[in-house]
């Protein structure tokens, strides 16, 4: 059984105090803390390997290249990709989704008669790039509505799907409510119309095993910093045959085979979409992070986080005027509002007691508008959170509510 108290020893930042109190870190949906193994991997690159990759013939360049490409194999194995050439390193989920939206636009995939389908639960990063593509192509953006419990309306989804639906871009887990969407079934439904499917797995990556071949989507994106790796590194997985058929978005070094002033020949996958010097240390540290979570086990991590979110909801349920957003089986996130209290005030006072939560719209303003609110207070859990954290969170929240009323 996973013991989060012993795991905390791997995360140096969790030893610190905030406003004189032990840190209770419950903002993991925004970014996770980093274990020593990840920081050591980054440090190892800079202390022992620091060199640019792929082009150098000297010892450091060869060693850095080998370690970097081994990290790509680690990511491919983690996702059960058919080949490591399907793994494109990006700056994060936002960068990956923008990459896909732009290369589909460059390929003239859409026209005025076509539609892009997203959901009410999407993060701005899975809304704005598609709006921009619609503006360039003349396509129409359609939105799957959600029920009052924060789950997607599957009947409406079925009604919206048609031969005009060229792209379905869907979050796996809502970063605002923790809703776990049935992405495999929705992907299968879209397949019947030949629709391209992109899955935003930013919140799924730290909680769930991912098998891209079983999922049967076309693209999947996630960010390293949500899964215990550094910021500034992310992954786009795409089907090799599809990536090979699409043009590159950014031009420069690494993504070329031959350049003349008259013509450029583009490189093979994955380098075709990796222009310029990549975040080498970030890639190496990402592989270390995935090794770390796999050694513990994603199934056990998910079980712990689900139990803690349910325990937190139960502990807060006696607070008068509290309302929880999202379904009861929410994944690792507890998002709530308290009648008469502003989420910002609640979060600020919780911080005074050493409890870190997120307040606001969580980059989901359309979703907040759907529920007639400006934002929520969100506690989000990770593998190092414990029952003691839940108790401290509930105790502090109860005290803050009493102070504000």
Residue 233's pLDDT is: 98
Q: Are 141 and 169 in contact (CB under 8 A)?
A: no
363 is catalytic: yes
Q: Are 207 and 173 in contact (CB under 8 A)?
A: yes
- Cα distances from 346 to residues 9, 22, 31, 320, 361, in angstroms, run 29, 18, 20, 14, 14
Residue 109's pLDDT is: 87
CA distance 355 to 85: 42
How many CB atoms sit inside 10 A of residue 230's CB?
22
What token pair was written down for 245? Answer: 């058929």
What token pair was written down for 234? Answer: 């992310």
CA distance 80 to 78: 6
CA distance 147 to 150: 5
User: At 56, is the pLDDT very low, low, confident or very high (cuts 50, 70, 90)?
Assistant: confident
Q: Which of 156-161's residues contact partners 24+ apart within 8 Å by CB, and which partners?
A: 157/117, 157/186, 157/189, 158/189, 160/117, 161/117, 161/189, 161/190, 161/192, 161/193, 161/195
Residue 255's pLDDT is: 86
Q: Are 165 and 193 in contact (CB under 8 A)?
A: yes
Q: Are 177 and 121 in contact (CB under 8 A)?
A: yes
**170 sits in which H/E element:** strand 165-171
User: At 184, is the pLDDT very low, low, confident or very high (cuts 50, 70, 90)?
Assistant: very high
User: At 170, is the pLDDT very low, low, confident or very high (cuts 50, 70, 90)?
Assistant: very high
Asked whether residue 200 carries a pLDDT value surpassing 80, the answer given is yes
CA distance 26 to 356: 5
Q: What is the average per-residue pLDDT within 304-332?
A: 95
Q: Which of 134, 146, 363, 364 is catalytic?
A: 363
Residue 256's pLDDT is: 86
**347 sits in which H/E element:** helix 343-352
Asked whether residue 75 carries a pLDDT value surpassing 80, the answer given is yes
All domains of the chain, ordered by start, with CATH? Answer: 4-30+297-404 (3.90.1150.10), 39-294 (3.40.640.10)
Cis peptide bond N-terminal to 341, omega within 30: no
Q: Are 231 and 224 in contact (CB under 8 A)?
A: yes
Q: Are 343 and 349 in contact (CB under 8 A)?
A: no
Asked whether residue 392 carries a pLDDT value surpassing 80, the answer given is yes
Q: Are 334 and 317 in contact (CB under 8 A)?
A: no
CA distance 306 to 332: 5
Q: Pick from 309, 336, 312: which is nearest to 150 by CA?
A: 336
Q: 84-130: per-residue pLDDT in tens?
A: 999 999 999 999 999 999 999 999 889 999 999 999 999 999 999 99
What token pair was written down for 340? Answer: 């008469």
What does the CA dihedral 334, 301, 7, 379 come to, rounded to 10 degrees?
A: -10
Q: Which residues pair with 349 in a beta bridge?
A: none
Residues whose CB is less than 8 angstroms from the CB of residue 215 and which lie 6 or more positions away in sequence, other chains included:
183, 184, 187, 199
Q: Which residues pair with 364 in a beta bridge?
A: none
CA distance 117 to 2: 39
User: At 185, is the pLDDT very low, low, confident or very high (cuts 50, 70, 90)?
Assistant: very high
pLDDT > 70: percent of the chain: 100
Asked whether residue 27 carries a pLDDT value surpassing 80, the answer given is yes
Q: 132-141: per-residue pLDDT in tens?
A: 999 999 999 9
Residues whose CB is less than 8 angstroms from the CB of residue 390 and which lie 6 or more positions away in sequence, other chains included:
308, 311, 312, 315
Asked whether residue 1 carries a pLDDT value surpassing 90, the answer given is no
Q: 335-348: per-residue pLDDT in tens?
A: 999 999 999 999 99
pLDDT > 90: percent of the chain: 95
Sheet architecture: strand order including 376-380: 322-325, 333-338, 376-380, 358-360
CA distance 85 to 267: 12
Q: How far is CA 379 from the centre of its chain?
A: 16
User: At 55, is the pLDDT very low, low, confident or very high (cuts 50, 70, 90)?
Assistant: confident
Q: Are 207 and 298 in contact (CB under 8 A)?
A: yes
């Amino acid at each position: 059984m996973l013991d989060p108290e012993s795991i905390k020893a791997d995360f140096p930042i969790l030893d610190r105090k905030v406003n004189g109190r032990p840190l209770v870190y419950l903002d993991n949906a925004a970014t996770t803390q980093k274990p020593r193994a990840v920081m050591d991997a980054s440090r190892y690159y800079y202390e022992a390997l620091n060199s640019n990759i792929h082009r150098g013939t000297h010892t450091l360049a060869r060693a850095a290249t080998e370690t970097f490409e081994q990290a790509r194999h680690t990511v491919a194995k983690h996702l059960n990709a058919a080949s490591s050439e399907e793994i494109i390193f990006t700056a994060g989920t936002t960068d990956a989704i923008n990459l896909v939206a732009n290369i589909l636009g460059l390929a003239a995939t859409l026209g005025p008669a076509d539609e892009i389908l997203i959901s009410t639960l999407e993060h701005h990063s899975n809304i704005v790039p598609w709006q921009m593509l619609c503006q360039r192509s003349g396509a129409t953006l359609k939105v799957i509505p959600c029920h009052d419990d924060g789950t997607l309306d599957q009947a409406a989804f079925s009604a919206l799907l048609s031969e005009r639906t060229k792209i379905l871009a869907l979050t796996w887990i809502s970063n605002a409510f923790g809703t776990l969407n049935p992405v495999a079934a929705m992907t299968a439904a879209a397949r019947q119309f030949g629709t391209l499917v992109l899955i935003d797995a930013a919140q799924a990556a730290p909680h769930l095993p991912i098998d891209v071949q079983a999922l049967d989507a076309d693209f999947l994106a996630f960010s390293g910093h949500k899964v215990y790796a550094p910021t500034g590194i992310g992954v786009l997985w795409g089907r090799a045959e599809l990536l090979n058929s699409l043009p590159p978005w950014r031009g420069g070094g690494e993504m070329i085979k031959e350049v003349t002033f008259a013509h450029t020949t583009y490189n093979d996958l994955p380098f075709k979409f990796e222009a310029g010097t990549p975040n080498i240390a970030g890639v190496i540290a990402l592989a270390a992070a995935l090794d770390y979570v796999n050694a513990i086990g994603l199934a056990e991590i998910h079980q712990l986080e689900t139990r803690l979110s349910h325990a937190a909801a139960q502990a807060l349920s006696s607070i008068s005027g509290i309302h929880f957003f999202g379904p009861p089986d929410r994944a690792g996130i507890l998002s709530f509002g308290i009648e008469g209290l502003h989420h910002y005030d609640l979060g600020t006072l919780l911080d005074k007691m050493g409890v870190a939560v997120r307040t606001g719209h969580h980059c989901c303003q359309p979703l907040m508008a759907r529920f007639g609110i400006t934002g929520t207070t969100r506690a989000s859990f990770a593998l190092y959170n414990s029952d003691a954290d839940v108790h401290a969170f509930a105790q502090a929240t109860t005290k803050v509510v009493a102070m504000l009323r």
